[in-house]
């Protein structure tokens, strides 16, 4: 599975593709995940794909390569044009910004995500979970797990971030986010989506959703500043905490535009990824009743306070945490991320020229046979403390690693 050393970029293995079109027809037909999974099986942990025209990328999945891109030579790998569709929605938030502006925003936002501060929201989270349980008990028909997990995480993130219940799928805010997010994901996956200046039905719907979303968020910012919105029990919303955060050097606070960008980023990242994780965890538990049994025993023995669990009580659930980690290994929220090399570099013996688009294959690192025995099996014991210490740190990175590690990890 390992790339040959001292290999020129142009000589990297990969699908030949068609003249001019490259592998774009196969990508469109099979979808990006299936296409790149097949390439990983065929060519190993370093391969090059021509996407049509002059567009191409090199995917690396060995932890050594990921560590160089994300940590030891991180300044050489910048977020390029592939992030433009995300910037259209999230603006210049933590996910999309770079350089000194990103560093400033990271410092300001980090003050809100200290563990002790997040622990204040545990009663809110418990309240949302208990409300979901009561609704399930009244349900007369089967429920869609993904819809339920999305509703739960929207409820939690809406209350903690804004002081509002955004879990109603009929609400304007929920529909605006959903429409805008679907459009962005579509543009990222399509590769050759119509430019935004074309008045296509999809583009018009997207801009309507974006305008509505901006109106809603700026209204929430105004209401929060006027003291109309809070979590309750003297607990400020995350938005209010972000408003109060000051730059240590200048004393400056975030502008309304920056607050808008960061709250939309946190809302989308906070509810979409968590809903996906919970959905996959429940699916995997139903397929592995012996694991489900151990989780139930551990939770029962921990005697959690259902109204307001504490961090100490949650720390008494090590096996449950291993189940979560193994779920994230098998089904990471982001299976691949791209960067653009600003200068020539060498990754695992492959010469990477300046301007090359480098894909970090997170899913494939999580399934690399050199680091994971029987990688397609669900085995929470992989995350026993001794096993974690012995493993390459960059073989498991569901929240990334390095300076741009997810702020909510």
Cβ proximity of 224 and 216 under 8 Å? no
**Sole residue written with tokens 């001292």:** 6
> From CA 143, how far away is CA 136, in angstroms rounded?
8
CA distance 246 to 225: 16
Is 404 a residue whose pLDDT tops 60? yes
User: Within its chain, how far is the Cα of 73 from the centroid?
Assistant: 22
pLDDT score of 306: 83
CA distance linking residue 169 with residue 164, whole number of Å: 14
Helices 256-287 & 172-190 angle (0-180, nearest 10): 80
What is the rounded average pLDDT of the residues 265-294? 94
The reported pLDDT for the residue numbered 232 is: 62
Tell me, what's the pLDDT at 4? 46
Q: Is the pLDDT of residue 3 over 60?
A: no
pTM of the model: 0.89
All domains in the chain, ordered by first residue: 9-404 (1.10.630.10)
pLDDT of residue 167: 73
Q: What's the pLDDT tens digit per position in 82-122? A: 777 778 788 898 888 888 899 899 989 988 888 888 888 99
pLDDT of residue 234: 67
CB-based contacts of 39: which residues, under 8 Å, 6+ apart?
A: 14, 15, 47, 49, 59
- Strand 46-52 and strand 55-60: the pairing is antiparallel
Q: What integer best gives the mean pLDDT of the chain?
A: 88
Of 4, 15, 105, which Cα lies nearest the Cα of 46? Answer: 4
pLDDT of residue 268: 82
286-315 as b/e: b if 16+ CB within 10 A: eebeebeebbeebeeebebeeeebeeeeee
Q: What is the pLDDT of residues 52-66, one digit of tens each?
A: 888 899 999 999 999
Per-residue pLDDT, 250: 85
Q: Is 267 left (phi over 0), alpha (psi -120 to 50) or beta?
A: alpha
């Amino acid at each position: 599975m390992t790339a040959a050393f001292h290999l020129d970029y142009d000589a990297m293995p990969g699908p030949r593709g068609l003249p001019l079109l490259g592998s774009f027809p196969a990508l469109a037909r099979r979808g990006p995940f299936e296409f790149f999974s097949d390439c990983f099986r065929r060519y190993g942990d370093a391969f090059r794909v021509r996407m049509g025209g002059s567009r191409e990328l090199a995917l690396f999945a060995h932890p050594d390569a990921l560590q160089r891109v994300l940590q030891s030579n991180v300044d050489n790998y910048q977020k390029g044009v592939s992030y433009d569709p995300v910037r259209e929605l999230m603006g210049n938030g933590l996910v999309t910004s770079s350089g000194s502006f990103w560093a400033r925003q990271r410092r300001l936002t980090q003050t809100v995500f200290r563990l002790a501060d997040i622990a204040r929201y545990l009663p809110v989270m418990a309240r949302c979970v208990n409300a979901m349980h009561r609704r399930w008990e009244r349900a007369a028909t089967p429920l869609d797990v993904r819809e339920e997990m999305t509703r739960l995480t929207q409820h939690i993130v809406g209350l903690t971030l804004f002081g509002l219940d955004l879990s109603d799928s009929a609400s304007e805010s929920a529909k605006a986010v959903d429409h805008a997010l679907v459009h962005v994901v579509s543009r990222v996956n399509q590769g050759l989506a119509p430019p935004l200046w074309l008045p296509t039905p999809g583009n018009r719907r997207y801009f309507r959703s974006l305008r509505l979303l901006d109106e809603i968020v700026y209204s929430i910012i105004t209401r929060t500043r006027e003291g109309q919105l809070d979590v309750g029990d003297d607990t400020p919303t995350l938005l209010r905490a972000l408003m109060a955060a000051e730059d240590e050097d200048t004393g400056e606070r975030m502008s309304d535009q920056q607050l808008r960008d960061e709250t939309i980023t946190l809302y989308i990242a906070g509810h979409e990824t968590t809903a996906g994780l919970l959905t996959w965890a429940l699916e995997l538990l139903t397929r592995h009743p012996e694991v489900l049994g151990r989780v139930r025993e551990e939770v029962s023995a921990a005697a959690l306070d259902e109204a307001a669990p504490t961090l100490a009580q949650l720390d008494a659930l090590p096996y449950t945490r291993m189940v979560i980690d193994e779920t994230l290994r098998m089904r990471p929220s982001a299976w691949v991320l791209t960067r653009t090399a600003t200068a020539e570099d060498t990754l695992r013996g492959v010469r990477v020229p300046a301007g090359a688009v480098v894909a970090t294959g997170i899913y494939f690192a999580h399934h690399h046979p050199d680091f994971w025995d029987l990688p397609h099996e669900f085995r929470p014991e992989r995350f026993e403390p001794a096993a974690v210490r012995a493993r390459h740190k960059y073989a498991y990175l569901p929240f990334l690693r390095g300076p741009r590690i997810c702020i909510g990890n």
